[in-house]
């Protein structure tokens, strides 16, 4: 076990009921998981969860952004690896069989050539120990056209060689969309929530967004939309034919150890027009 891997392992602890947390400086870090749903007919089925860090400082919750702002550039890769390993450890507490785990790889944290690939290999080497199959994991890469494409290509190849799924996060937020699709050739793209909310503010949102989704899907890539907070946004995502849906309207993030209800959700419950039509039928 090398020094950095030992540092990550030594920073993760278990509480009295087995839930794991990490310590970094004066922050206590815990895992949260937000359900991701797949439309199936008139129902939404929970098929995955997205992991995120929940930070506390002196007993008070702070936002993830506020926590990350305190991390020195030289520590970003370590903290990225620490949070990722914490989420892998706590994933078993979700308690739902067969759901995939989505988690981030912040490519901007790659401060030295080869370090991120080394971190990935170390993580992959722990999966058997944690009882996780690579096919259940989706690595979301946060990248831009300014990043080192050669190192990114090596990282993606390493992920695929290990049997991990590859996704592009914050898709559509820059002018490099086509470049990234061609370079990474992901299994899935995550449409940025803020961009999607903006699109939904226009009357022609369904038609415009539907074109984008079709172009991506025609290349063999699945589409996930995050940040669905209103019935209108859900309607647009469904009409566009998105593969996966996520947002506070459907389910909020829950802490590791909370009860995750994996029962199907009726789409008409969230859409007033569909609910009214159903009521009128009776």
CA distance 134 to 162: 7
CA distance 165 to 244: 15
Percent of the chain with pLDDT over 90: 67
Which residues partner with 37 through β-bridges?
A: 46, 245
pLDDT at residue number 122: 87
Evaluate if residue 115 carries a pLDDT over 50: yes
Find all residues with CB under 8 Å of 250, minimum gap 6, and list them.
35, 37, 44, 228, 234, 265, 270
Name the nearest CA neighbour of 209 among 237, 243, 250, 171. 237
Name the nearest CA neighbour of 105 among 77, 141, 137, 79. 141
Which residues partner with 140 through β-bridges?
A: 104, 167
Contact 226, 191 (CB under 8 A): yes
Q: Which helix (H) or strand (E) holds 69?
A: helix 64-69
Find all residues with CB under 8 Å of 179, minimum gap 6, and list them.
145
pLDDT in tens, 204-256: 877 889 998 999 999 999 999 999 999 999 999 999 999 999 999 999 999 99
Evaluate if residue 1 carries a pLDDT over 70: no
pLDDT in tens, 262-279: 999 999 999 976 555 444
Describe the crossing of helices 177-184 and 149-161 by its angle, rounded to 10 degrees. Answer: 40
Q: What is the mean pLDDT of residues 50-66?
A: 95
pLDDT at residue number 204: 85
Would you call 61 helix, strand, or coil by DSSP? strand
- The pLDDT mean for the chain works out to 89
Evaluate if residue 114 carries a pLDDT over 80: no
Name the nearest CA neighbour of 105 among 62, 162, 21. 162
Which residues partner with 62 through β-bridges?
A: 55
C-alpha dist (Å) from residue 139 to 45, 70, 77, 237: 21, 24, 15, 23
CA distance 46 to 35: 6
Tokens coding 46: 């929970």
CB atoms within 10 A of CB 203: 7
Q: Residue 218, exposed/middle/buried by CB under 10 A (0-12, 13-18, 19+)?
A: exposed
Name the nearest CA neighbour of 262 among 106, 97, 152, 66. 97
pTM score > 0.85 for this model? Answer: yes
Tokens coding 127: 């999966």
pLDDT at residue number 177: 73
Q: Are strands 43-57 and 265-266 parallel, antiparallel or unpaired?
A: antiparallel
Contact 175, 146 (CB under 8 A): no
């Amino acid at each position: 076990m090398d020094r950095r891997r030992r540092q990550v392992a030594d920073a993760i602890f278990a509480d009295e009921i087995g839930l794991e947390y990490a310590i970094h400086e004066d922050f206590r870090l815990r895992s949260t998981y937000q359900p991701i749903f797949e439309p199936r007919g008139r129902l939404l089925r929970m098929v995955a969860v997205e992991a995120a860090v929940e930070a506390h400082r002196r007993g008070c919750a702070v936002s993830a952004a506020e926590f990350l702002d305190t991390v020195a550039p030289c520590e970003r890769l370590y903290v990225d690896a620490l949070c990722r390993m914490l989420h892998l450890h706590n994933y078993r507490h979700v308690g739902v069989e067969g759901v995939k785990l989505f988690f981030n790889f912040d490519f901007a944290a790659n401060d030295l050539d080869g370090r991120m690939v080394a971190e990935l290999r170390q993580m992959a080497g722990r999966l058997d120990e944690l009882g996780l199959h690579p096919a259940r994991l989706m690595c979301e890469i946060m990248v831009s056209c300014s990043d080192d494409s050669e190192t990114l290509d090596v990282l993606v190849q390493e992920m695929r060689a290990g049997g991990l799924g590859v996704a592009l996060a914050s898709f559509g937020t820059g002018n490099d969309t086509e470049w990234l699709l061609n370079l990474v050739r992901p299994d899935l793209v995550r449409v940025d929530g803020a961009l999607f909310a903006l699109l939904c503010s226009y009357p022609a949102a369904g038609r415009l967004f539907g074109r984008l989704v079709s172009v991506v899907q025609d290349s063999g890539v699945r589409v996930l939309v995050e940040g669905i907070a209103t019935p209108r946004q859900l309607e647009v995502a469904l009409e566009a034919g998105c593969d996966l849906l996520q947002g506070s309207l459907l389910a909020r993030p829950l802490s590791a150890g909370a009860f995750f209800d994996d029962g199907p959700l009726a789409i008409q419950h969230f859409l007033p027009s569909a609910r009214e039509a159903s009521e009128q039928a009776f």
